Structure 1
Amino acid sequence: MRHHGDVDAAPGLLDFAVNVQGSAPPPWLRDRLVVALDGIGRYPAAAHDEQAREAVAARHDRRPDEVLVLAGSAEGFALLPALRPRLAAVVHPGFTEPEAALRAAGVDVVHVVTDEADGHRLHPDAVPAEADLVVIGNPTNPTGVLHPAVDVRALAAPGRVLLVDEAFADAVPGEAESLAGAADVPGLLVFRSLTKTWALAGLRAGYALGDPELLARLAAPRPQWPVSTLALEAVIACSMPAAVEESRRAAERLATARAEQAERLAGLPGVRVLPGTAPYLLLRLPDGQGERVRAAVRAAGVAVRRGDTFPGLGPDHVRVAVRPANQVDRLVAALADALEAVAA
């Protein structure tokens, strides 16, 4: 359950396994972080954290006390047991780290598995009424499905915490179906990540949005100085209007590139590109051939994300990031050769 794409993306391989856009932050962001390096001789300051919360609050039309800056969304998932849920319902296929953290803390977890034949559509009534924590990604990783906000809202219930993982929401044009600004949904937590759009996977920066009392419960077990000075600076920088506009334009470019990449992959024999809206695509390879095709593609120097570590998927599923056309050329060629070799 704790297998992630970085394990598949070994050095030297063309990386379609990790959903980070680019290999480094844009120059303006890098320059700002370099300047902030002069401050790392001091402990992260409460005033700096307040600046970050104010920047995020302005970005999402929230109050600063409705923001909790995180050392990446993964920290937020690790804190979920502090909410003391009795039964957590996790919508799958989905990112597995929340469930791994909950199970490690002894929390009972039930799967709500969406159906590929139904387009992995969310059915709110499939969630057990007794679940007092519900976890869902939107768009969901790895399916790429973007659930209607009205359906996600329907998961909220009295006495329940609803966690929506929006790690890829800023990569969707217009941030469609986002609940980041929905302060009116009782028990709602929204996690956001800066990792993907801004190529900050090594920095660990993100934030949670929610009711102040709920955020206080979530943060109760945190150590002192949980978020680094550089991560705080990144949160401020990436929440500025110019950065939000840059990410909006990037999301539109990604949508175009995704459609083109999906069309090319769908032309391969036996490959089904499942519908979605995200900076990655979920593929279904010919029945029984997935593991051998994936191994042959890897031998050709291309890394893809295996699908069988996601509940609800199997060895014939792989996830591929959206990449520039010249890199897609290599992916398509490697897959075509692998499919031909395995079929023979």
Structure 2
Amino acid sequence: MVWLRCAIPGCCLLWALLYRTGGAAASVRLQAGISCAALLSGVEPHGGNREALARRLGCRPDQLLDASASLVPFGPPAWLRRHVVRALHNEALTSYPDREQWALREAIAKSHGIQPQQVLPGNGAAELFTWIARDAAAVGINWLPAPGFADYRRALATWDACCCAQPLPLRWPADGPQPWPELSLPAEGVLWLTNPHNPTGQLWSRASLEPLLRRFALVVVDEAFLPLVPRGEQQSLVPWLDQHRNLVVIRSLTKVLSIPGLRLGYALGDPERLQRWHQWRDPWPVNGLAAAAGLAWFEVPRRAEQWQRRVQRWVTREGAWLQRELGALPGVTPMPSAANYLLIRGERDGQPLSLQLLREALETRHRILLRDCRSFEGLDDSWLRIGYQSRRGNRRIIHAMRQELPQALNSSNTPASN
């Protein structure tokens, strides 16, 4: 196996992975540090960009039904709002935040049964990905299962890291948790995992992930959506932190509490590694209001558990309803998901069909935003991702799709383009 690096204008990184079998080249795959297709097409790497889309569509942001992001539609909980408002009247605005965030670290550690030194709060998961990537760039090859979250590549490109996409099967069973697929990866470098996987919604079994901790120098597991998955915590790798210093688990309160504006995530891992990141970063990455929200969540476990159960019941109920309703529509196939989002694929006679006309029609005529999946390496314009909404919101999506699908599919006579 030989890695070749090339400098091509317009790309952050370009790598060629050359497989040799019996001395003959079997295949060459080129991977960019950031997906060139996504850059050239102008595809947003994230959902939830309501302000920009509202300006483009000539409407107010609150007129949009945003199913491009995957947030709880009935959050944040009222008790969290009250706690943040109280913090406004205390010192959250008038004092610098605690640089060490010890109170928050202790609350998080108690919740997970670990030591405070194994916790590092961050300005959302995105900030923490940046520091993980700095470590990962020095380790070696970064293996990224594809399709996967684009922000990992963004973080790795910041440090000029060597990375390679590893395709996942695009068909998977409905039951779960599922075993991690057998991929032909060498036992070296860094493996980035998402559980449940984004964008497919597959929940990986803990037992199938344990061998990976013995194979790779560093394993990063993004569990941002795991609290929303019914019985998902049973598959968390947090209990293995003490046995595996090469394991980093990323968690976020953004999804389960629906607080993307506060920016609060946290890393769990080896204390020496986390202390190194702490020394690299800005002095106050976590603001006072975000810290107050985190304390409100972790300091009263019973209240948090009640909210989590409510969220998980919503995921179960709306996921089953959407699967049934989408499955009755012509030209689209809903994929199984354990998370609060699912993929749909445009198909006719087993051949992929572009869903971009459908997505654009939903935006312009119905003010509904679905996730353009071209930013996920390995997916093309035949795929869209739908974040679950309230039943009223989900009915609105199905009604609009039922109206627009015939015309959109009739205009999509050519195979989907990458």
Instruction: Pick the TM interval, shorter chain.
Output: over 0.9
**Cα pair 2:130 2:158 within 8 Å, conserved:** no
Shift of 1:122: 3.1
Shift of 1:321: 0.8
Note if 1:3 corresponds to 2:54. Answer: no
Could you say if the C-alpha distance between residues 211 and 248 of structure 1 is closer, same or farther in structure 2, counting changes exceeding 3 Å? farther
What is the 5 A alignment of 1:9-20?
10=54, 11=61, 12-20=63-71
**Cα pair 2:361 2:404 within 8 Å, conserved:** yes
Q: SS where residue 171 of structure 2 aligns? A: helix
1:96 to 150, 155, 159: 150
Partner of 1:248: 309
Deviating more after overlay: 207-216 vs 66-75: 207-216
Partner of 1:289: 354
Note if 1:70 corresponds to 2:129. Answer: no
What is the 5 A alignment of 1:164-313?
164-174=221-231, 175-183=233-241, 184-239=243-298, 240-241=300-301, 242-286=303-347, 287-299=352-364, 300-313=366-379
Partner of 1:27: 78
2:395 and 2:310 map into 1 onto residues whose CA distance is: 24
TM-score by length of 2: 0.77
* Matched length: 342
**Cα pair 2:188 2:216 within 8 Å, conserved:** no
Q: SS where residue 212 of structure 2 aligns? A: coil
Could you say if the C-alpha distance between residues 99 and 343 of structure 1 is closer, same or farther in structure 2, counting changes exceeding 3 Å? closer
1:333 and 1:57 map into 2 onto residues whose CA distance is: 45
Partner of 1:150: 207
**Cα pair 1:114 1:121 within 8 Å, conserved:** no
Q: SS where residue 226 of structure 1 aligns? A: coil
Deviations 1:151-190 (A, max 9, x none): 2222213661111000101001132311123222341111
Deviations 1:189-226 (A, max 9, x none): 11001001111100000111111122223333111122
Could you say if the C-alpha distance between residues 269 and 218 of structure 1 is closer, same or farther in structure 2, counting changes exceeding 3 Å? same
Could you say if the C-alpha distance between residues 187 and 333 of structure 1 is closer, same or farther in structure 2, counting changes exceeding 3 Å? same
What is the 5 A alignment of 1:19-58?
19-22=70-73, 24-37=75-88, 38-39=90-91, 40-46=93-99, 49-58=101-110
Q: Which amino acid aligns with 2:117?
A: D
1:170 and 1:176 map into 2 onto residues whose CA distance is: 10
Partner of 1:122: 180
TM-score by length of 1: 0.93
**Structure number with larger C-alpha Rg:** 2
Q: Which protein, 1 or 2, shows the higher relative CO under an 8 Å CA cutoff with sep ≥ 6?
A: 1
1:156 and 1:335 map into 2 onto residues whose CA distance is: 43
2:163 to 95, 109, 112: 109
The runs of 5 or more residues in structure 2 that have no matched partner are 1-34, 36-43, 55-60, 411-418
Using the aligned pairs only, state the percent identity. Answer: 32
Shift of 1:23: 6.3
The runs of 5 or more residues in structure 1 that have no matched partner are none
Q: SS where residue 69 of structure 1 aligns? A: strand
Deviating more after overlay: 265-274 vs 152-161: 152-161
Partner of 1:335: 401
Shift of 1:125: 4.3
Shift of 1:22: 2.4
2:181 and 2:203 map into 1 onto residues whose CA distance is: 13
Shift of 1:113: 1.4
**Cα pair 2:191 2:216 within 8 Å, conserved:** no
Q: Which amino acid aligns with 1:253?
A: W
1:16 and 1:121 map into 2 onto residues whose CA distance is: 28
Q: SS where residue 156 of structure 1 aligns? A: helix
Shift of 1:245: 3.1
Across the aligned residues of Structure 1 and Structure 2, the Cα RMSD in angstroms comes to 2.0
